Amino acid sequence: MVDEGKRRRQGMAIDPDEFDIPVQDYDFSKATQTTSLIDQMALAGGFTATKLATARDILLDMKQQSDAVDGDLSKVTNWLSFPACLCATGTRSFFVEAVKTKMFNVLSTTCGTLDHDIARSYKDYYHGAFELDDIELGEHSLMRLGNVIVPNSSYGEIIEAVVMPALEEIYQDRLKETGKTGADAWIGFGSIHLVWELGKRIGTPNSLIYWAWKNQIPVCIPGITDGSIGAQLFMFRQRHRDFHIDTLADEQVMSDLTWDVETSNALMVGGGISKHHVIWWNQYRGGLDSAVYITTAPEHDGSLSGARLREAISWGKMRPEAPNMWVEGDASVLLPLLGSDIFNR
């Protein structure tokens, strides 16, 4: 079988005898479970199917490594980064299960993830269509996220109703716990601690923040002000001018996780700040030990979203020998396929 990464590293020429695995047709009578279907994808060839099968195998290795140390962050760090939009869909349960089972023990995401996770814990989002009239939707206080309809009553209104009282509790408890006043009370209180405190107070068993708090899994949100929760934080600070989020405290956690950990792996879904935070910190330990990246972005525009994992090697953010695969496709399709296999082993 051809190992293209090894060939590139060793400057090897093509050996025709390496192409020794024939393309096989699917036997759908045996593809009765996701595992058997993805197994057949590895043999069927055909572009993204083969990539998905390889990605599944890399993720299984990550899971086995984490299970072997019971999710001990000091030994194996499995990073998971993703955009908020997926939490507006049923794909949220992939991330919930990933944290609940401790397969992934540190997350990097955006403020919108908190928005959708909290909102959907109390209210419903609804099926819509990409082609709906957005002007008319706006007139009815209905917001469209792709083909998902988000009523304002299920988003901004409910978020404010449940988050503001929780912030007041967090504020009062923090002052008591630290015995300090003013800005000094908030030193060390970053987005990671905010997520845990919200998860403890307003998280529900189907929510990401609940399981992050329950399992004490860090959820880093570098752009914590960029969303509805960020707006709540801003408005809360109008009442309590000493309140703030210590974003550099999050960076300290990221630093502590990467410098001394024995093994560091990552599943990154989409690009942007969430992905970059993962690869950025891992460069300080010589790069990721393995990685899977899911994206719909093209490479030709130079964006981080479009950058394939091989580019990270040149920055020292992924080790040259690291098993890795990037899979082009819609994560709302790919993650449920992967999850139904990986989480049932």
The helix (H) or strand (E) run that includes residue 213 is helix 208-214
Helix (H, G, I), strand (E, B) or coil at 79: strand
- Residue 233, pLDDT > 70, answer yes
Question: What are 282-301's pLDDT values in tens digits?
Answer: 999 999 999 999 999 999 99
Q: What is the pTM of this model?
A: 0.94
- Centre a 10 Å sphere on the Cβ of residue 101 and count the other Cβ atoms it contains: 16
Calculated CA dihedral for residues 206, 208, 213, 218, nearest 10 degrees: 160
Question: What are 49-69's pLDDT values in tens digits?
Answer: 999 999 999 999 999 999 999
Tell me the C-alpha distance between 303 and 240, whole Å.
39
Which pLDDT score, from 0 to 100, does residue 3 have?
Answer: 61
pLDDT band (50, 70, 90) for residue 71:
confident
Calculated CA dihedral for residues 73, 344, 87, 281, nearest 10 degrees: 30
Which pLDDT score, from 0 to 100, does residue 36 have?
Answer: 96
51 is catalytic: no
Which pLDDT score, from 0 to 100, does residue 6 have?
Answer: 59
State whether the Cα torsion 154-160-161-163 is positive or negative.
Answer: positive
Catalytic pick among 63, 100, 275, 317:
317
Tell me the C-alpha distance between 269 and 82, whole Å.
5
- Residue 11, pLDDT > 90, answer no
The helix (H) or strand (E) run that includes residue 250 is helix 247-259
Question: What are 74-102's pLDDT values in tens digits?
Answer: 999 999 999 999 999 999 999 999 999 99
Instruction: Determine contact, residues 315/279, Cβ cutoff 8 Å.
Output: yes
User: How far from chain centre, in Å, is Cα 158?
Assistant: 24
DSSP state of 13: P
Q: What is the mean pLDDT of the chain?
A: 95
Question: What are 295-331's pLDDT values in tens digits?
Answer: 999 999 999 899 999 999 999 999 999 999 999 999 9
